[in-house]
Structure 1
Amino acid sequence: MMVAEPGITGQRFKSIIGGSAGNLVEWYDWFAYATFSIYFAPLFFPEGDLTAQLLNTAAIFAAGFLMRPIGAWVMGIYGDKHGRKAGLTLSVLLMAGGSLAIAFAPTYAQAGVVAPTILVIARMVQGLSVGGEYGSSATYLSEMAPAARRGFWSSFQYATLSGGQLLAILVALILQALLSEAQMGDWGWRIPFVIGSMLALCVYLLRRTMSETKSFTNIDQKREHSSLKLLWRDHKRSCILVAVMSGGGGLASYAFTTYMLKYLINTAGFEKQTATLIIAGVLIWSFCLQPIAGMLADRFGRKPLLLIAGAGVALAAVPIYTLVGQATSPIVALALILIPITLHGGYTANNAMVKAELFPAHIRALGVAFPYAVGNTIFAGTLEYVALWFKSSGNETGFFWYVAICVGATVIAYLMLPETRDTSLIEED
């Protein structure tokens, strides 16, 4: 259990925890789709083999990503105009609605083409939600945290993202233990989405009681209002850097967690439950790693951690994927995956804070959210589809190099970044 440290007020601490808890539920709902698509893919796309069915669900996963820039645009402006708290409460309501729609969606056998259509619409609503959630939560947590410990406190933004993914995995493990394979494929996969929608509604009530940040309340309302035109005109360089960081960094995150689950099953040949346990171990490690990496950023700066992450993961990608694909022991597979995950902690713990520190308060939510969503949509959002395309074409090794090149490109962006620990535009309140 976290205890508020000297220098952070009880209300501020409560708000940080409240923002983090909401972020966890948002990302649980988002990752539940990827985690349980193995079970419901045949119900919505009955034709073809497993890889073909997963390709269809991956395409819908990408469609959700396509909505994220729109959500980031609309919700970012909303958060800059009406407050970070307002943006957070709206995003979690959208997520609740999307999850509920998936939970009760009819199958292809029941409704024909209407079934995958509902799935697409629900996923697009979730994409809007997550597009707004990232910018709002990253901005909120970074503004609430005291400057000297901003790395530590804002690291919980990604810790709870890992926690949401871990929660989805743990729900999968429990259901796999309680239900048969046939029951999971028939109706058990719906349970996680019901859970997600109920949790999201609870978080909505929690977020209504949070405090607004002083950075937002101190904004001069006579300033030019947040907009994409203003963002591009005054902060073009920061936008490009954030998009490159987010594209490669987000791709790495999905490559070694979300897609790795399918890779363990579809390529390495592990049983579904074994593969799920491996990824659960990865996520537990990632969750615990975030505050440590955040504290290191407070001590040594943001850039060294980011550079280690970018260069390290780029170099590790090809050999790790190759060795995991040949692994027969779950312990060996877990140990191998933990290597890039540990290196990547320098990015995951600190990226949200760095992005928030690059923009002034009156346009911060949009500045964090929109270029992040664009980068993630182009690279992370299409990751599973690209990976499965390489596999179906018989050239899976090409995907390993694709990951290495995309992550390696972030090193250029990190070298061009200022050391935001020293140049942060978040004022100390």
Structure 2
Amino acid sequence: MNQTYTRQEKISRIKGVVGAASGNLVEWFDFYIYAVFAVYFTHALTAPGMESSAQAIYVWGVFAASFFMRPIGSWLFGRIADKYGRKKSMVISICLMALSSFLFAALPTYEQVGMIAPFLLLLVRLLQGLSVGGEYGAVATYMSELGLKGQRGFFSSFQYVTLTGGQLLASLLGVIFLNMMTEQQLQDGGWRIPFVIGGVAALASLLARSRLEETLSHEDSEKQESGTLKELFKNHWKTFLLVVGLTSAGSLSFYVITVYSKTYLTNIGIDAKTVGLIMTASIFILMIAQPFFGMLSDRIGRRNSMLLFSSLMAIAIYPVMVLGMRAFSSSPMIVALLLIFLMMILSFYTSISGIVKAELFPPYVRALGVGFSYAVGNAVFGGSAPSVALQFKAAGIENSFFVYVIVILIICFFCSWQLPKEAQYLKDDL
């Protein structure tokens, strides 16, 4: 069906994408502050008598644990989005993120409350995981439903523009704070300030989300099976498993390249400030590349984009990370270029991460289907990446971690091969 749009309709849809994306940026900014400032609050919130490696493993273990709240968040908010509206789901999730950010800033230290401190760290981080778990499915669904026919890859790419934008702002904030404060000042309490900033930003983003237009139809919301796990697993379980397979490799690659690589580069001898600058510049380029790869997917198809991602990343990640990074560790510019090279391959996935999944589910279980399958794959393989990598390193077989990544990418390649050449749903505009 050919669909034409008035200028007002186009403007309305673009405003909707901007509104959803702005909240998404804040959600992920708040979430990634943890990764950027973890090195500074580790000693304050864990037992002083622990070895530094054990402290790091616990803190990154908490990072991984928060991902296991995502399936719960995706189920809860997916249910809300498919039954009561995408807008309502996104408004509640941003409120929850604001609350958890303020609670994080107020966490007592180990010196003040003993073993309660690491427990509260885990509790608040799980709350953040719940919020972000609900964010992905609702935003991916909303942006895919607003996208203009023939341009959905481009429109949906802005989900990862803002996702990486949130990570970029967190990384940039880390660079700014390192130049404004000493490491000791950050460890003594300066790490709390970014979480306050994140909480305030989350409250501000409520204004944009409160003005969003709803895309869920009354007919779909009234269906008895709308947003239910029973319907998802009864009639769409094959699609669910397919999306889990796609997400596992995509999320694992994303967190290896954008999160763990910061620790990895530090371990091979690059100083913290230089690593911060490398990561900030690289993530900025990743962010601005998303619309171009989204437009490319509109031309070559989602299936081909996913096949390119999984095959090229499987070929490149070991030689780049294990051989290239170490060989050129004395040249920050070459290290940055190598990292950007991997990010460009990653962009074949990130630019269409939401739309490729949304096109596989019908509207009445779309937010749940997209969010829950993404959350499961992300929890098992994505969020665990830094912790698993550190376990490989502690065992003296750090290079084998990248073999593990390659195996997951090969599985993703076969899952990508199963994707339909044309979208089963969202063929026409809603």
Unaligned runs of 5+ in 1: none
Task: Give the structure 2 partner of residue 167 of structure 1.
Answer: 169
- RMSD after superposition: 1.6
Task: Give the structure 2 partner of residue 114 of structure 1.
Answer: 116
The one-character-per-residue Cα deviations of 1:99-139 (angstroms, maximum 9, x if unpaired) are 11111101111111111111111111111101100000000
Q: 2:208 aligns with which of 206, 210, 215?
A: 206
For residues 222 and 370 of structure 1, the distance between their equivalents in structure 2, rounded to whole angstroms, comes to 19
Answering whether residue 400 of structure 2 is matched by residue 403 of structure 1, we say no
> With structure 2 as the length reference, what TM-score do the two structures score?
0.95
For residues 217 and 31 of structure 1, the distance between their equivalents in structure 2, rounded to whole angstroms, comes to 36
Deviates more, 1:241-250 or 1:223-232: 223-232
1:29-428 to 2 correspondences below 5 Å: 29-45=30-46, 46-213=48-215, 215-219=216-220, 221-265=222-266, 267-322=267-322, 323-326=324-327, 327-420=329-422, 422-425=423-426, 427-428=428-429
> With structure 1 as the length reference, what TM-score do the two structures score?
0.95
* Residues 1:84 and 1:51: Cα distance change in structure 2 (over 3 Å): same
Per-residue deviation at 1:408?
2.2
Per-residue deviation at 1:13?
1.3
The one-character-per-residue Cα deviations of 1:24-76 (angstroms, maximum 9, x if unpaired) are 00001111111110111111123344332211111101111110000011111
Per-residue deviation at 1:427?
4.1
Deviates more, 1:399-408 or 1:277-286: 399-408
For residues 407 and 340 of structure 1, the distance between their equivalents in structure 2, rounded to whole angstroms, comes to 14
Runs ≥4 in structure 1, deviation > 6 angstroms? Answer: none
Per-residue deviation at 1:419?
2.3
- Taking only the aligned residue pairs, the percentage that are identical comes to 40
How many matched pairs? Answer: 423
Which amino acid letter does the alignment assign opposite residue 134 of structure 2?
G
* Residues 1:218 and 1:275: Cα distance change in structure 2 (over 3 Å): same
Which amino acid letter does the alignment assign opposite residue 147 of structure 1?
K
Which amino acid letter does the alignment assign opposite residue 66 of structure 1?
F
Which amino acid letter does the alignment assign opposite residue 107 of structure 1?
T
For residues 337 and 179 of structure 1, the distance between their equivalents in structure 2, rounded to whole angstroms, comes to 28
Per-residue deviation at 1:219?
2.1
Which amino acid letter does the alignment assign opposite residue 331 of structure 2?
S
Per-residue deviation at 1:226?
2.1
For residues 74 and 65 of structure 1, the distance between their equivalents in structure 2, rounded to whole angstroms, comes to 15
For residues 87 and 38 of structure 1, the distance between their equivalents in structure 2, rounded to whole angstroms, comes to 33
Per-residue deviation at 1:217?
4.0
For residues 363 and 231 of structure 1, the distance between their equivalents in structure 2, rounded to whole angstroms, comes to 7
| 2:362–2:425 contact (8 Å) kept in structure 1 | no
Per-residue deviation at 1:6?
5.7
Which amino acid letter does the alignment assign opposite residue 319 of structure 1?
P
* Residues 1:394 and 1:222: Cα distance change in structure 2 (over 3 Å): closer
